[in-house]
Structure 1
Amino acid sequence: MTIRVILNGKRVELDGARTIFDLLRSRGLDPRLVAVERNGEIVPRDRYEECELRDGDVIEVVHFVGGG
């Protein structure tokens, strides 16, 4: 099943990604190192595996970068 979402301002089609966790893994992102907003609301990290994506969702993913 293909889901169409807006990911960081770009329209994307996701095949097989059903949850926030699936989305992050498909993009090669470590769920421990990102913050995710879905439809204007922050998704708690402990809910990534149960938070289901829906057609039309607007997802923002912020990746933390270390350094000094």
Structure 2
Amino acid sequence: MVKINGEPVAAAGKSVSAYLAEAGYDSRAVAVEVNEAILPKVDYGQTILADGDVVEIVCFMGGGAR
């Protein structure tokens, strides 16, 4: 199991980009940290998640001052 945003997920063996697509994330609008290291977007496709990995996904939200 891979812990993603604090929850156990059966994502071992999948690339980060495959997981993001499967989970409905827009890879252009997120930042991903794997085992406490920020993952460059160019590495999403070749980084394969393994059992015990800890992943944090942060979504960017639009907004601004009034």
**What is the TM-score of this pair, normalised by structure 1?**
0.87
Unpaired runs of at least 5, structure 1 = none
Residue 65 of structure 1 aligns with which residue? 61
Structure with bigger strand share is 1
Aligned residue identity for 1:44: P
Aligned residue identity for 1:8: N
Unpaired runs of at least 5, structure 2 = none
Residues 1-68 of structure 1: matches in 2 within 5 Å? Answer: 4-14=1-11, 18-68=14-64
* Aligned residue pair count: 64
RMSD: 1.4
Distance, in Å, in 2 between the alignment partners of 1:5 and 1:13 is 6
What is the percent sequence identity of the aligned residues?
42
CA shift, 1:14, in A, is 2.8
